[in-house]
Amino acid sequence: MRIVLMGAPGSGKGTQAQRLVERFGIPQISTGDLLRDAVARGTAYGLRAKAAMDAGALVADEIVLGIIRERLGDADTGRGFILDGFPRNLAQARALAAMLDSIGKPLDSVVLFEVDYAEIVRRISGRRTCQRCGRVFNVHTHPPGSPPHCEQCDDHPALVQRRDDEESTVQRRLQVYEEQTRPLAEHYAAQGLLRVVHADAPVDEVTARLLAVLQP
């Protein structure tokens, strides 16, 4: 199964990607996570990506494509993968198609998570991340304690708000999504690959809707 999950920041695609990982045993490939990891490790890609990420802008295609090309070459993608947060513009979508065509493994489907704008702002403002394991919690839907801490790590480290989840950056990210990423829905619809999931619902309900649209 080779799928792309699309949706505005805060639409829940990362959470749903984790559900699919548990169910199908294929990896989640999040370019946001890969870029944050590159920044934390101070790699050449990371050093170049940081300013764009802090500003809520897209990182240069060349960097993102380099990271994706490396990741798709890993052995664990043989049975499939879930792309989360990639592609984010038409050039990336075309480059992905070329990469997958060259190995004879095209995409099976592209899922678009639709969520109301006000709900997105509420979700992102409540989002807190564990700096150790990277897991994401939400103070509105999954109270992680006071002070907020990670329930997955043994020593319960404190959760932090990602810098690009701060309100001014969120507005910028939503604008970038509307202008550059959302139009990909038409691109994939024209190829018969698009599935739409209305994601204004509790997590389990969204998972059920997601599994329904992924049925062959």
- Catalytic member of 105, 122, 132, 162: 162
User: Is 88 assigned a catalytic role?
Assistant: yes
Task: Specify the residue, 9 or 27, whose C-beta has the smaller distance to ligand AMP.
Answer: 9
Answer yes or no: 127 catalytic. Answer: yes
CB nearer ligand AMP, residue 99 or residue 156: 99
Name the residues that contact ligand AMP, by CB under 6 A. 9, 31-32, 35, 52-53, 56-59, 64, 85-86, 88, 92, 164, 173
Q: Which is nearer to ligand AMP, 12 or 85 (CB)?
A: 85
Q: Which residue, 122 or 156, has its beta carbon nearer to ligand AMP? A: 122
Tell me the C-alpha distance between 173 and 112, whole Å: 17
Cβ atoms of 81 and 34 within 8 Å: the answer is no
Cross-strand pairs, 197: 113
Least distance to ligand AMP, CB of residue 95, Å: 11
CB of 32 within 8 A of CB of 85? yes
Residue nearest to ligand AMP (CB): 32
**Which of 19, 71, 173, 209 is labelled catalytic?**
173
Strands 136-138 and 127-130: antiparallel
Amino acid present at 88: R
Mark whether 13 is an active-site residue: yes
Catalytic residue status for 172: no
Q: Which two tokens stand for residue 27?
A: 């990896």
Cα separation of 111 and 7, whole Å? 8
Omega before 216 cis (within 30°)?
A: no
Instruction: Report, as residue numbers or ranges, the catalytic residues.
Output: 13, 88, 127, 162, 173
